[in-house]
Homo-oligomer: A and B are copies of this chain.
Amino acid sequence: MSDELPALPWDRARRRTPARIPLTPERIVDAAYTVLDREGYEKLSMRQVATELGVAVSALYTHVSSKDELLELMYLRLFRGWTLPDPDPARWREQVADFAREGLKRLRGHRDLARISMTGVPFSPEVLPQMERLVSLFRVAGLPDRVAGAAGDIISTFIDGFAFEESMLENRRRGSDGLSWPDMRAHLRQFFADLPPDRFPNLIALADHMLPRDEDDRFDLAVEIIIRGLASFAEEAAENAATAGHPGPTARSAAGGPEETGERGEG
């Protein structure tokens, strides 16, 4: 603002103490992320954030109305610079998988971030464009409306839940002992091996596949399962469209059933 005015004589003196960087929501969120990464969600407190900034606690409240709002601002960072590609009907499965992987990657970007994400409001202006493009992707893929409308929510819920449980396990590993991840895995493998074979034959048989996730395989598999489930609805819709009017023996439309057109006279 004062940059455009001619400099007054005493201007220089007043510019001499810019040592104090102005406090902003942006800087507060930065500091909060620093504390989060270092201390974890449980110890993320307004006082810790203030200390991180070298500032009084009360100073935070002039830029951030509450801790909940701070958490909300941290949540919104998840979506910064995250734009989904234009939907491509031929590659929608890949695109959904890419979306899921990117989401998990971002949630893994900061310790316990999944705990914060889980409680975030999904209807904020920053998130809506994401939802819009995701929904458009599902529509382009040929999913019926009611499936397309729910699909984004379903896969997002799963990504959050997966990352959340991962974060829980990681904290448990940190807390109980200083066990490394391989040690933790070995320990759990032994746990499954030591189960009474008469009571837990299946858990023992699949022990290798029951181990907690330390790579992306299980996540990718889960996403693939969801995508296949979605795809089955797309195929079903395509078949129904092809045989419209004269219902032939569609072998696998057992679960679908007729769908009410939700037209209401008030929108």
Considering only CB atoms, which chain B residue lies closest to A204 in the complex? Answer: B267
In chain A between 185 and 221, which residues have their CB closer than 8 angstroms to a CB of chain B? 188-189, 191, 193, 195, 199-203, 205-210, 218, 221
Is the CB of A150 closer than 8 A to any CB of chain B? yes
Q: How far is the CA of A230 from the CA of B221 in the complex (A)?
A: 10
In the assembled complex, A172 has its CB within 8 A of some CB on chain B: yes
Interface 9-residue window, one of A45-53, A100-108, A128-136, A238-246: A128-136
What's the Cα separation between A224 and B150 when bound, in Å?
12
**Given the contacts A145-B209, A209-B146, A123 and B225 also touching, CB distance less than 8 Å:** no
Cβ contact within 8 Å between A202 and B168: no
- Neighbour of A229 across the interface among B119, B129, B226, B267, CB < 8 A: B226
Tell me, yes or no, whether A237 is within 8 Å of chain B by CB.
Answer: no
- Tell me the complex Cα distance, A132–B131, Å: 37
Residues of B within 8 A of A208 (CB): 149, 262, 264, 267
Complex contact A206–B157 (CB within 8 A): no
- Among A118, A172, A202, chain B packs the most CB atoms within 10 A around the CB of A202
The interface centre, meaning the residue of A128, A136, A164, A225 with most chain B CB atoms within 10 A of its CB, is: A225
- Given A135-B210, A161-B164, A208-B264; 10 other pairs, CB 8 A cutoff: A118-B165, A123-B191, A132-B200, A132-B202, A139-B206, A150-B221, A154-B225, A157-B162, A158-B158, A160-B161
A residues adjacent to B (C-beta < 8 A):
93, 118-119, 121, 123, 128-129, 131-132, 135-136, 139, 145-151, 153-154, 157-158, 160-162, 164-165, 168, 172, 188-189, 191, 193, 195, 199-203, 205-210, 218, 221-222, 224-233, 255, 262, 264, 267
